[in-house]
Amino acid sequence: MPASTHANPILNGEIAEVSPKHEPAPYDLTASPFDEASLWSRISFGYGRPLLRLGSRRPLQEADLPALAKRDNVVTAISNLEAAWAAEQKRAAALQPPGAPTFVRALIRAHWRDFYVGALLSLLEDCTIVVQVCVYRVRDVRVMLRTHQLHLSFFPNKKYVCSRVALTFLFLG
């Protein structure tokens, strides 16, 4: 099929100005939405919703991006890392015998809150997945017990049967 038969100007090779006219962003570009966000908004990423809404209406441009959070500013990040590196050098010098400072330890010292919050949220997500599977499995076993459809072929081995029965009594008890 020749390219000229397409109705789309991009497919025809006529790359014209196809983006809509620039409309101003519906939020303050000088303030960071993260700095002004509540705890729930930070957890649920609600502070980014206006930017996502704007991006669904038209292609985003650099002028649409809000300011960085104060803690993500380059000057703040560098000063935090330099302070952590100085503390790491002092720690390494105080060892007997003196050791070499490690950059990874300084990086963790500078950003420990972000690492711990990320690890905590990841652990919470993993726990909810495991609990969800256990609840569904217990529900399946309870339904099979009520309808007398529980067969040993349902379980791959005796250890699995014992652990599932124990979990059933644990959740029902």
Same domain, 28 and 82: no
Phi-psi region of 45 (alpha: psi -120 to 50; beta: other; left: phi over 0): left
Same domain, 128 and 95: no
The answer to whether residues 15 and 48 belong to one domain is yes
Per residue, the 3-state secondary structure of the chain, as one string, reads: CCHHHCCCHHHHCCCCCCCCCCCCCCCCCCCCHHHHCCHHHHHHCHHHHHHHHHHHHCCCCHHHCCCCCHHHCHHHHHHHHHHHHHHHHHHHHHCCCCCCCCHHHHHHHHCHHHHHHHHHHHHHHHHHHHHHHHHHHHHHHHHHHHCCCCCHHHCCCHHHHHHHHHHHHHHHC
Task: Please list the pLDDT of the chain residue by residue as tens digits (173 residues).
Answer: 454 555 555 555 554 444 455 666 666 777 788 888 888 888 888 888 888 888 888 888 888 888 888 888 888 889 999 999 999 999 988 887 888 888 999 998 998 888 888 888 888 888 888 888 888 777 777 776 677 665 555 555 556 666 666 666 666 54
Q: Which residues contact 68 (CB under 8 A, 6 or more apart)?
A: 32
Shared domain check, 42 and 11: yes
Q: For residues 30 and 67, is the Cβ–Cβ distance under 8 A?
A: yes
Instruction: Say how many domains are in the chain.
Output: 3
78 in the same domain as 45: no
The pLDDT value given to residue 3: 47
Give yes or no: residues 126 and 167 share one domain: yes
What's the domain range around 9? 3-68
- Cβ atoms within 10 Å, residue 155: 16
Are 60 and 77 contained in the same domain? no
- 123 and 138 part of one domain: yes
* 119 & 106 share domain: no
Residues 54 and 93 in one domain: no
E strand map for 20-173: none
Domain boundary among 56, 91, 110: 110
Whether residues 85 and 51 fall in one domain: no
From 42, 68, 94, give the residue that closes a domain.
68
- Check whether residue 118 and residue 169 sit in a common domain: yes
Enter the tokens of residue 68: 């960085």
pLDDT computed for residue 70 by the predictor: 83
Residues 6+ apart with CB under 8 A from 149: 143
